[in-house]
Amino acid sequence: MAVLYDESRRLFKLDTANTTYMIGITEDGYVGHVYYGRRLNRPGGEYLLRAKEYAYILSVNAREKEAFLSSFPFEYPTQWTGDLREGALDVMNEEGQCGCELFYRDYEITAGKPSLEGLPASFAGEGKAAEGVSTLRLTLTDPVLEIDAELIYSVFEKEDVITRSVVIRNNSGKTRILQKVYSASIDMDAGHYEMLSLTGSWARERHIRRRPVGIGKQSVGSIAGKSSHQENPFIALVTPGAGQDTGEVYAMNFVYSGNFTAQVQVSQFDSLRMCMGINAENFSWTLESGDHFTAPEVVMTYSAQGLGQMTRHLHDFYRGHLIRSPYLHKERPILINNWEATYFDFDTEKILSIARKAKESGIEMLVLDDGWFGKRNSDTSSLGDWYVNENKIKGGIAALSDEIHKIGLKFGLWFEPEMISPDSDLYRAHPDWALQLKGRTATMSRQQYVLDLSRQEVRDYAYECVAKILRTAKIDYVKWDMNRELTDIGSAALPASRQQEVFHRYVLGVYEMQERLVTEFPDLLLENCSGGGARFDPGMLYYSPQIWRSDDMDPIERLRIQEGTALVYPLSCMGAHVCCAPNHTTARSVPFETRGHVALSGTFGYELDITQIPEEDLEMIPGQIAEYHRYHGLIAEGDYYRIHSWSGEEPWDVWGSVAKDRSEALYTFVQVLTRPNVRSRRILLPGLEEDTVYRLEGTEECYTGGELAKCGILIPEMRGDALTKLLHFTADTRA
């Protein structure tokens, strides 16, 4: 088993294929982090706790306890008893006092992986997938507060991943208030590191940012009620200069879709603390006697061979142990969405005209976006009124769906179940169903409010709005959108003592609704969206196999968005469409071929008025669809290699997907800008077998894998901006 306990050393050793994680226990019962890094064959290193270096030992001398607590490498640190660094747990007692101190109690090692109550979480899987998955439950206790903290570590040997979560139990007979509950924390020597994060804004999400780690706190986070456009729930510590295949990487990713904190802190003693969990701002949770609180899961991985290895660890882990959809290993239907084709201005005939033309081109599904319900002729009304607008859709959604299916296409539908318009029948009937602060005028965004999904009756209403349509019409796909941040965090249904539970209860409510949806409609293809990419996180992947990557479909902007997203998340889960030109967000015009090649590294589809595009573009669609069908399996299941970023010195972008058996590879080259008076570019193409001979599709050119990785290939300068090449190599059976 991958988890061992050496009783003589009081040391837990957690092993993956290439890494070791160790936890030690002092003679006073403190639980400390010993080591995380390259795999060790035998347990050891307990001296790294430095327990005997301190003047304080509880059983002998309590004079310098504060110095000890501020220096000890805690596995799960607490606050207000002496450790002056960021704590992972903050608990208030019945007298309003904060302070917690945890000591080792017991442990349990089991095969497999437990689920987490009410939360998305990774799973062991079945058959061979479940082999090499084991769990350590390490129980710590505070004898004064009479609470237990059960630290849960699950080891995924093959993927080099360890997950962590925490369950806090109140055994006191009194009320305890949780002020902060992080899910994971690691203490180690500071060394020299940079913090890597994914940051941005609407339409430019998940750009890669690196900054040196110095004394004090460096963090990213969200208080938007969702994981946000601005900062993704992912951070990595990397050694300076770490690249795709060199350097050390310690990564954390949060399986949660709400407020979060991801932080690195360097202390006065040159110790480093890396932690992740629910953001403590405007958060508390009341634990009555006998209650428990389950914190969401953190995914951790360590790479000694750069960011590329980290990426492939995470991609394999999410495909194998988090995404549950039956579509995971299937080709997704190639869709056309009417949003940028029509916005709110459409009727049945317009939609059917798009469907007919799409069918002629080989497209497989039509998705009807915003504007089909209530009196929704703009974004100023009707969210919450989920009945069809028959002035637009004659005969209703079921009749339209039937017509679309008769044409030979699947049919999908857009919903925004979490929102409510002030101008809606729902709001007029239930104004208290919106999140709001007593005595204040609620803040609008996109002229809408947020439904209070902490309330069961509101969740039931919102869910039934979606489900009743899916029960009465043939709907193959649902796009679940969420177009604003949470503000005015108040619930009319909760007492004053529980108002700071609203943020977390809201996220739990979203999870409950989506779990009901995929359970009642198991064959439904669900795509999550939040104003584009504001909820692109592992929590959402548990319910939907794909997430809309960004509202900005300009392929040049998408290059940076795609690079950052693919650093952590598999290509198969990235919603990607071929857009109009000029692009509606940036007004940039990019060749149709380039738009197709960039969208190919994703779920692939179209968002344009196919009845109005130039004939030469229309004629390219069948070929693009053929490329999708040809390469989908390789892109969706292969190993991802990031080769060059145009955000660097040179204006081109290169990435690749390599088959697991190394039998083939597809590399995409995008020349973003043309420069005069330059020679061909030499591009190194990693990932293939050293001595195997590969043939470049469409030519008679052959190269060994070693030649491609070390000598590279020459790509001549192309005329014009944003031009692309697909380089498909297959093992040459004639060699």
Which residue is listed with tokens 């969420």?
A: 482
Counting Cβ atoms within 10 Å, is residue 689 exposed (0-12), middle (13-18) or buried (19+)? middle
Is position 481 annotated as part of the catalytic site? yes
Q: Do 494 and 436 contact (CB within 8 A), yes or no?
A: no
Give me the helices (H) in 48-161, please.
65-69
The answer to whether 416 and 383 are in contact (CB under 8 A) is: yes
Catalytic residue among 90, 551, 552, 554: 551
Q: How many helices (H) and strands (E) does the chain have?
A: 13, 39
Query: Distance between CA atoms of 283 and 279, rounded to whole angstroms?
Result: 7
To which H or E segment does residue 152 belong? strand 147-156
Helices (H), 521-609: 538-541, 555-566, 592-599
Phi, psi (rounded to 5 degrees) for 153 = -120, 125
Start-to-end CA span in the chain (Å): 43
Report the C-alpha gap between 303 and 196 in whole angstroms. Answer: 14
254 forms beta bridges with 298
Query: Which of 83, 369, 481, 639 is the catalytic position?
Result: 481
**Cα(305)–Cα(242) distance, integer angstroms:** 9
**DSSP category for residue 387:** S
Q: What is the CB neighbour count within 10 angstroms for residue 456? A: 11
Distances (CA, A) of 516 to 466, 509, 609: 11, 11, 34
Q: Is 370 a catalytic residue?
A: no
**DSSP line for 682-714:** EE---SS-TT-EEEETTSS-EEEHHHHHHT-EE
Greatest extent of the chain over all pairs of C-alpha atoms, in Å: 85
R_g of the chain computed on alpha carbons: 27
- Residue 581 backbone dihedrals phi, psi, to 5 degrees: -140, 130
β-pairing verdict for 664-671 and 723-731: antiparallel
**Is residue 431 classed as helix, strand or coil in its secondary structure?**
helix
- Cβ contact 32:50 at 8 Å: no
Residues with a known catalytic role: 481, 551
